[in-house]
Structure 1
Amino acid sequence: MGSLTETAPEENYSKPPGIKFVEYIKRSTISFKTHQAIVLIVTFLAYTSYHAARKTTSVVKSSLDPQSSDLGLKFAPWRMTYLEVPEERKTLSWVLGDGWAPFNGSDGTSLLGELDVAFLAVYAMGMYFSGHLGDRLDLRIFLTVGMIGTGVFTSLFGIGYWGNIHSFYYFLIVQMVAGLFQSTGWPSVVAVVGNWFGKKKRGLIMGIWNAHTSVGNITGSLLASALLSHGWGWSFVVPGLLIAFVGLVVFFFLPVCPEAVGADKDEDELHSPRKIGEAQEEPLLPSEKEGKDKPVGFIEAWKIPGVAPFALCLFFAKLVAYTFLYWLPFYISHTAIDGKYLSSEAAGNLSTLFDVGGVVGGILAGHISDRLNARAITAASFMYCAIPALFFYRSYGHLSLTLNIAFMFITGMFVNGPYALITTAVSADLGTHSSLQGNSRALATVTAIIDGTGSVGAAIGPLLTGYISAKSWSLVFTMLMVAALIAGLLLTRLVVSEVAVKIEESRSQGGSPRTRSSSPVDEV
């Protein structure tokens, strides 16, 4: 990377006020590695708060629609009659009593499903525009506006509790606008991280960093569950205030790119020892061409080799993941585990173990893909392993709490592993694909295309679940297993390509050693 004195800073970017203040106090500039640490921490907190705000709906569902608990009894092979339900469950407070109109009627489950699809449909459409704008605007400002807007409309949903609002269209419109603001998050944080980190160990670094998704889900579940007893409105207002506060942190402290803050990587690495034969780490977004690059168009980004199969794979992977995100607490609270039913609060807390498995799966998938240098093989293998995991969770998870926890953890690991890998390392790989000829202005667009396509699946999964669960939860799990199978099959061509490369490498081991083979994702 050339000296920053040779490259004009990006016009759209400016140094954050918080960074200026810290440097004023220190009376010296902050190092490149310190900036990297700030980027990882701030973006981690930012997207954690996004998912915490998003998760609350799934926890509150059982409070809004408690009367549909017979759905879990009527069609499950281990069903029980209402007379067999423990007395303490019958006498719970309003949290599981009368519910909240209009969601406590016979069509309550369907209405909740429609809220999910409205949110996620707008989120998916907004994702494409957010990526387009993210490559053209100051990402720090863009992300701040998105987070504060998300906080406002998440809180407005909860205000319906104190305002005694029972209009379905009020909740629908609030969810749709919240989905629009939520769409600003992912393309922005991936693009910012991409500005600061090169390709070396990208899968592992982003696998660990992507734990923010599961940490956010866990935080949102625990927070919403703890606040339910005070009124379900608090389960929305508090996460809304939280994301708005973190949005201010982003505004004051997030450096968008090295050029914006005058950080020079050369100064940190000038005297850094390098092993003999070790390749120079390739920056994710080369600064030399920053001033010349033009943002990549939407259609042009779709034509990048590998974007379409991974985007379609993520469509089905997120269909599975988001069905769990929005319906797992509801499913747990309406299913007898060892002959007992859990309260909404207990179900919300228990569902966090799915996300704990997701953290492990994301890190594991990133590490394995780095070691094998095979993103497609790793993602497809995890999706195939998710199929038996889903089957065992549905078939045997009700037998005991221990089995439920074990199978939930394993399912979360295999479902969220490829989801995390594709939305982070793979998106970054494709956003800097060799066909772009060094153009550094495609990362947010490519990320938005891949995650936006996945978000369409994320909208369809919860919607279908709202209707299918009224007939049978077994049909829901069958749908999820079929989706996982299709997700794996969509990567077949890339998997074959990666296997061919591995065979070629093994045959040429007698020749000169390669420092690092290029991934078929970059070659296809």
Structure 2
Amino acid sequence: MKPIPHLHARIWTFTITYLAIASRHTAIQSWSMVKPEVGADLSMNSTWLGVMDFTFLLCYATGNFISGNLGDHTSLSAITSIGIGLGGCAYFINALLGKLNFSNPWIFAILFGLQGAFQSSAWPASVAIMGNWFPRDKTGRIVGFWSSNTSVGHLLGAQMAGFLLVYGVSWEIIISISATFMICVGLMFWFYGKDRPPEHEAEEALLSKSMTENKIIFKNGINFWKAWRLPGVLYYSLCYACVKMLNYAILMWLPYFLDDEYNIDKRYIGFMANIYDIASIVGAFGFGWLTDKLKARGPTLCLIMLFSIPTIWCFHIVPHDLWYLIFGVCILLGALAGTAGHLISAAVPIDIGKHEHLEGNEEALATVAGIVDGTGGLGAAFGQILIGYLASFDWMYAFVFMLIAAFISLLLLIPISIREYKEAKLIKTNNKIV
């Protein structure tokens, strides 16, 4: 069997980028778990806690557009390292202020905004690094599975925080642990992260020298506005705004909905949130493999979102005496909408960023990933406000809004699917002629 080039380096790259994203999602989930304690200790009501979440999401979304394009003009590993490290520091300051009984909500909101801005560099740069190290024909299965880092981070954060809270550990300590995790990963990335595999010894020596002597190197990155004109960027970005809003709605509002409507035991509610994430991990690898075989993402994603629509409505129609059926709904929707989120945010930007439309040696991976994730973040941020408002009247309105979002994402995927199907058919015809 032919040996895989740079196998050990690829494994390390997969691991360190995986940890970078998992660490920030561990912090996000641990914060969600300790919010009741924070509100009680610092006398902050739910409105201020919501403002902090919104500030984080908004700064994260807008930061993606900037940091993504910056990553294509300078060192990807440096951008990731600085963002994760400073994000961890801002998170640590939150814990320190809590320990000092400082409770000015405006300062906490500003710190959460800084966290979002710093952490926004991690995703587009990490996706670009993965795209540089792994072949495009295996992007679906490899990067699809790699993108499970978000779900694993949620699981780690929830389990760690839940376990420590049971034993009476303060929320400041829990936040400090998550912040330390992020800072350590940031330092690892600074010293051991590499943007791409060297193709020969001379390039490797040059890369090592540039990384050692000057971590911030400059490249021929694509213009931000030109990146929007690459095939599929606009449609996929708008689609991801709907899909990410949907996924965040499930992750952030499902526990509240189940407690409010079904009065389910907290242990079962936590387990339902976990199996949603686990189902999305399995689905990302399975559907990622399928899209690699088909050499097109759009048609598969189209079917996924089509089946997501009736699944979403199942949350609203499950009878109260059959509440345990929601376990199955969580598994199914996680494997559908959760998977769509993984593939659009990770595999799709790599496909577009390596497209033949790029001129010369233009770098576009991080910019495209930033555009897609940034647009998705805006959808998630404003979507949560609308869902909270609609749910205050009736949960049915909130689920109708989610259905509309899923339907819009389906409509946006149709022209992409048609174009990708035609391209795949043309490639197949050309291969037969050759």
TM-score class, shorter-chain normalisation, is 0.7 to 0.9
Q: TM-score, normalised by structure 2?
A: 0.87
1:354 aligns with 2:354: no
TM-aligned CA deviation for residue 334 of structure 1: 3.7
Cα displacement string for residues 165-189 of structure 1 (whole angstroms, at most 9, x for unaligned residues): 3322122111101101110110110
Equivalence for 1:60: 34
Aligned residue pairs total 417
Contact 1:206/1:424, CA 8 A, preserved across alignment: yes
Distance 1:221 1:394 in 2: 25
TM-aligned CA deviation for residue 362 of structure 1: 1.4
TM-aligned CA deviation for residue 426 of structure 1: 1.0
Q: Which has the larger radius of gyration?
A: 1
TM-aligned CA deviation for residue 99 of structure 1: 7.0
1:245 aligns with 2:184: yes
Equivalent in 47, 50, 56 of residue 21 of structure 2: 47
Equivalence for 1:483: 405
Describe the shift of the 1:228–1:139 C-alpha distance in structure 2 as closer, same or farther (beyond 3 A). same
Q: Secondary structure at the match of 1:305?
A: coil
Equivalent in 241, 262, 265 of residue 342 of structure 1: 265
Give runs of aligned pairs for residues 66-81 of structure 1, distance below 5 A: none
Distance 1:235 1:388 in 2: 38
Give runs of aligned pairs for residues 103-502 of structure 1, distance below 5 A: 103=45, 108=46, 110-229=47-166, 230-259=169-198, 262=201, 294-336=220-262, 340-343=263-266, 347-396=269-318, 398-400=320-322, 402-500=324-422
Describe the shift of the 1:405–1:197 C-alpha distance in structure 2 as closer, same or farther (beyond 3 A). same
Equivalent in 22, 33, 37 of residue 7 of structure 2: 33
Give runs of aligned pairs for residues 87-106 of structure 1, distance below 5 A: 101-103=43-45
The letter of the residue matching 1:322 is: Y
Distance 1:261 1:228 in 2: 52
Contact 1:432/1:443, CA 8 A, preserved across alignment: yes
Q: Secondary structure at the match of 1:141?
A: helix
Distance 1:484 1:37 in 2: 35
The letter of the residue matching 1:209 is: W
Q: Secondary structure at the match of 1:383?
A: helix
Distance 2:65 2:59 in 1: 10
Segments of 5+ residues of structure 1 without an aligned counterpart are: 1-29, 66-97, 266-290, 516-524
Distance 1:308 1:354 in 2: 28
Cα displacement string for residues 396-444 of structure 1 (whole angstroms, at most 9, x for unaligned residues): 1754563222211211111111111111111011111111134341111
**Identity over the aligned pairs, expressed in percent?**
30
TM-aligned CA deviation for residue 335 of structure 1: 4.0
Contact 1:55/1:326, CA 8 A, preserved across alignment: no
Describe the shift of the 1:293–1:63 C-alpha distance in structure 2 as closer, same or farther (beyond 3 A). closer
Cα displacement string for residues 430-472 of structure 1 (whole angstroms, at most 9, x for unaligned residues): 1111111343411111111111111111111222233333222
Describe the shift of the 1:468–1:45 C-alpha distance in structure 2 as closer, same or farther (beyond 3 A). same
Distance 1:141 1:468 in 2: 42
Task: Compute the RMSD of aligned alpha carbons.
Answer: 2.8
Contact 2:73/2:218, CA 8 A, preserved across alignment: no
Distance 1:49 1:378 in 2: 30
Q: Secondary structure at the match of 1:493?
A: helix
Describe the shift of the 1:62–1:411 C-alpha distance in structure 2 as closer, same or farther (beyond 3 A). farther
The letter of the residue matching 1:317 is: V
TM-aligned CA deviation for residue 504 of structure 1: 6.9
Distance 2:37 2:260 in 1: 12
Describe the shift of the 1:31–1:421 C-alpha distance in structure 2 as closer, same or farther (beyond 3 A). closer
Segments of 5+ residues of structure 2 without an aligned counterpart are: 205-216
Contact 1:221/1:349, CA 8 A, preserved across alignment: no
